[in-house]
Amino acid sequence: MVGIVPVMFSPSSKGRLTDRDLERFPGDSLFDRLGRAVCHAGCLPRKELYEAWEMARRVRRVFRGGRIVDLAAGHGLLAHVLLILDNSSPQALAVDTTLPPSSGRLHEVLAGAWPRLKGARPFRGTSARVSRALRA
């Protein structure tokens, strides 16, 4: 056998990222650091990482600073990534009707990697109208 062929990695997979996937994010880039943190959390599908990263990059090309509002946020990864990408945004609000129990775990892991996020727990679960959440 000449060498080991790496297993293909589909970014659109709904398989959960875990510590077994750490080697897939070996670099020092911000995306690789984020990928390793999400792997440590062990609660997000692979596709969520790639979708949140791409959306955050596109949003930050157009908008900078100000309040971040992530509607239908799920785990709130997009809100966290936007805060990581833009130090001038003071806060984020991630709103969803039901927050997954593991959203707290994701926040803890990301705040461990980016201490600036420790004070910003950007979640709000609400079954009420979203407009009330935005006024808070």
**What would the DSSP string read from start to end of 4-43?**
PPPPP--TT--SBP-GGGGGG--SSSHHHHHHHHHHHHT-
Rounded to the nearest integer, the mean pLDDT of the chain is: 83
Q: Is the pLDDT of residue 128 over 80?
A: no
Give the pLDDT mean for 95-115.
Answer: 89
Q: Which of 91, 114, 122, 107 shows the shortest CA–CA distance to 44? A: 107
- Residue 68, beta-bridge partner list: 92
Q: For the residues 68-93, what does the mean pLDDT come to?
A: 88
> What pLDDT was estimated at residue 39?
97
Domain boundaries, the chain: 19-135
Whether residue 124 is predicted with pLDDT greater than 80 in this model: the reply is no
Which of 49-53, 57-61, 64-68 is least confident? 64-68
